[in-house]
Amino acid sequence: MKQSNPKGKIIVAMSGGVDSAVAAGLLMEEGYEVIGVNLRTWEYQPPACNTTKKSCCSPDDIRDARETGLTLNIPFYVIKMEKVFGERVIQRFIDDYKDGRTPNPCVECNTFVKFGALFEKAKALGIEKIATGHYARIHHSGGRYAIRDAVDKKKNQAYYLYGLSQDAIKSTIFPLGDLVKSDVRALAKRMGLTVAEKPESQEICFIPENDYRAFLRKKGVGFTPGFFKLSQGQIIGKHNGKEGFTIGQRKGLGISWKKPLYVLEIQDDGTVVLGEEEETTCFSFYIEEIIWQGMEPPKESFEARVQIRYRHRPVLCIAIPLTNGSLRIEPKESVKSVTPGQSAILYPTSGDHLLGGGLIQKGTIGMNRKDHLALVDSLG
């Protein structure tokens, strides 16, 4: 594929998958001088057993990305990012589980590695634009840039991109934002790319067998044993380590009860508080470490829609700014298993772009249904 480049240079982060490969091909066709890079973020170790699941960042992925570069006839480089990935992603992953939070490494990787360190390297080389194969679009209004939902709602990745700065969004192109996955695979076939039918990665890249407990032990994390306790205070069993649980977890608790139980709280002393499904409902919580995109940091309460996990349907809420820079979120309908360490993002009441987002704070507030209904009535 011959390349003409009236639009200048652009770096495309190429993971070895079909999405980033097609992104590179489309930008070439638009007239960019494409430079492909693969980010080596960790020292890959093959799974200990045969598995059909796929994880990213393996030697096979680097090979596939390089082959795509050869097919498209573009320069291709592997950039070492182990240091920043270790500090910003892996260490936070470890610290969060030690502290009773559930980490979201994809958010951290996008914020600090793919759109952080890579963006800085591009600028150092005098290259003003980067691109990825994420399913997202860009919204620009009132002098501010924000991530906007992709056309393909099943693949939409806006949730993972709330941490991008204004400069990063302004300098990024998402070529797949207006496409659906079937179109992307069809384009890959047209371009002659060998990854056209490559399966998608399904796991955290540095935990290819999806066994985060084994990973934590390998990293020297000491597991804190303790008791299972019902929310009313009754002790009903023991466990081998609070680090092996997440808020909202039901399966794999290792305890039997007359009704299904869920993790409600993970305490520092090792106590894991359990309750029935209705007790997982949360009507009020905090988010911190907030990044604002589609609006300036607010001084007064405002209505929005909040999304508390990747596949969660955004619900109407009141967002209340606090003096320490965090937000108190009061959903107008109940949400379940609000999990500290996970991300919460905010949309306008009507619109598909991000206002901002942050991390769900440990120690979320519970509220009974009567008090919640009274609050909703008072908010109109």
For 300, which DSSP code?
S
- Which residue's entry shows tokens 């008791």? 227
Name the catalytic one among 56, 57, 109, 282: 109
Q: Report the candidate in 158, 20, 163, 23 with the shortest Cα–Cα distance to residue 89.
A: 163
**Residues 77 and 35: beta-carbon distance below 8 Å:** yes
Strands 235-239, 130-131: pairing is unpaired
CB 161 within 8 A of CB 136: yes
Residue 205 is among the residues annotated as catalytic for this protein: yes
Phi, psi (deg, nearest 5) at residue 161: -115, 15
Identify residue 181 by its one-letter amino acid code. K
- Select which of 56, 106, 205, 317 is catalytic: 205
CA distances (Å), 260 to each of 50, 236, 248, 335, in order?
Answer: 32, 13, 12, 18
Query: Which amino acid belongs to residue 278?
Result: E
Half-sphere exposure in the Cβ direction for 318 (13 Å, CA): 15
Q: What are phi and psi of 52, to 5 degrees?
A: -90, -10
CB 151 within 8 A of CB 191: no
CA dist 41 and 78 (Å) reads 10
Evaluate whether 203 touches 215 at the Cβ level (below 8 Å): no
Four-residue CA torsion sign, 124, 125, 128, 132: negative
User: Using an 8 Å Cβ cutoff, are 41 and 88 in contact?
Assistant: no
Give the CA diameter of the chain: 71
Cα(356)–Cα(286) distance, integer angstroms: 14
Q: How far apart are CA 380 and CA 372, in angstroms?
A: 12
Catalytic residues: 109, 205
